[in-house]
């Protein structure tokens, strides 16, 4: 499981994340949602040990990330929205590299299964430059899941995937959770959150707005009964009062009449 307590991240005077606390139990999928600039990615990067928080603690499977980072990261996978790959390593070599980093003893069998599951078998000798955006994303996912992590953090996991890939990704998230992993996923795709997440954490301005199951969140806003999660999200994050898309001027384009040549 992952336990977050009082997580705070400051950049000078700017409060990116403020006193965030939550826990994700084994087998649970938490959806982290919020508008742009809400602090989601900063939160995820703190949870993955990429950046050091200014305050608070993070525990991965009971191991404090701040004081025992190597042991904690051994049980963690972070899959970013933009796959960071090494352009000179093939698909198979990426998996061999990750296997050694995490000491995966049965790496060959697991690699085979993952490549099959993510439909990358035929691309095992390909370099990242020879892969499509979706395949690169799948490779990043395969690298993240190779060591069977207890906590999986996914930032916009569906970016670049085709419909088939999206379906498989959702199934993979559910299967990993069913196998006992704690999953955190950040996404702007609210239908994905609604479909695969057990609980939702809505953040805005680095602060927790609401945390709970979708039913619990709906129950807190009786006036929103019968509305979609998107409506609730917009109401919670203050994005519903403008009456129209931001920045689009409803001014018609003036197209001059072309003189009739007849």
Catalog residues that contact other proteins under the rule CB under 8 A: 11, 14-15, 18, 37, 45, 48-52, 69-74, 76, 78, 80, 84, 86-90, 93, 96-105, 107-108, 125, 127-130, 204-207, 238, 242-251, 253-256, 258
Task: Give dist(CA 26, CA 19) in Å, integer.
Answer: 23
The backbone torsions φ and ψ at residue 30, rounded to the nearest 5 degrees and listed phi first, read -105, 130
Query: Nearest distance from residue 163's CB to other proteins, in Å?
Result: 28
Tell the smallest beta-carbon distance from residue 80 to other proteins (Å): 7
CB of 201 to other proteins, least distance (A): 16
Helical pair 107-117 and 91-102, crossing angle rounded to 10 deg? 130
Residue 51's Cβ-count burial label (10 Å; 0-12, 13-18, 19+) is middle
Min dist CB 183 to other proteins, Å, is 16
Nearer to other proteins, 68 or 191 (CB): 68
Closer to other proteins by Cβ: residue 93 or 194 = 93
Measured distance CA(139)–CA(38) in Å, rounded? 28
Measured in whole angstroms, how far is the alpha carbon of residue 54 from the centre of its chain? Answer: 22
Whose Cβ is closer to other proteins: residue 4's or residue 48's? 48
| Nearest-approach distance from CB 187 to other proteins, in angstroms | 18
**Residue 36 or 223 having the CB closest to other proteins:** 36
Q: Residue 18 or 137: which CB sits closer to other proteins?
A: 18
| Cβ-contact 59, 2 below 8 angstroms | yes
Nearest to 191 by CA among 177, 170, 172: 170
């Amino acid at each position: 499981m992952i336990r977050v307590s009082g997580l705070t991240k400051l950049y000078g005077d700017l409060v990116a994340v403020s006193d965030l606390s939550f826990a994700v139990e084994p087998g649970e999928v938490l959806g982290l949602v919020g508008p742009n600039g809400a602090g989601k990615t900063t939160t995820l990067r703190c949870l993955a040990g990429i950046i050091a928080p200014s305050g608070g603690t993070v525990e991965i499977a009971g191991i404090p990330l701040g004081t025992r980072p190597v042991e904690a990261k051994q049980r963690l996978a972070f899959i970013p929205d933009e796959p960071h790959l090494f352009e000179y390593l093939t698909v198979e070599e990426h998996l061999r590299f990750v296997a050694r980093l995490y000491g995966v003893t049965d790496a060959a069998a697991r690699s085979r299964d993952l490549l099959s599951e993510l439909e990358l078998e035929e691309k095992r000798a390909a370099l990242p430059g020879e892969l499509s955006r979706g395949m690169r994303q799948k490779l990043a996912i395969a690298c993240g899941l190779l060591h069977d992590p207890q906590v999986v953090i996914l930032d916009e996991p569906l970016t670049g995937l085709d419909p088939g890939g999206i379906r498989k990704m959702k199934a993979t998230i559910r299967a990993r959770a069913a196998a006992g992993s704690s999953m955190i996923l950040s996404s702007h795709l609210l239908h994905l959150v609604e479909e695969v997440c057990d609980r939702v954490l809505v953040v805005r301005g680095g602060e927790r707005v609401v945390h709970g199951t979708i039913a619990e969140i709906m129950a807190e806003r009786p006036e929103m009964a019968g509305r979609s999660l998107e409506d609730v999200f917009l109401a919670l994050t203050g994005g519903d009062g403008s009456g129209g898309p931001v920045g689009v001027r409803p001014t018609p384009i003036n197209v001059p009449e072309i003189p009739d040549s007849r």
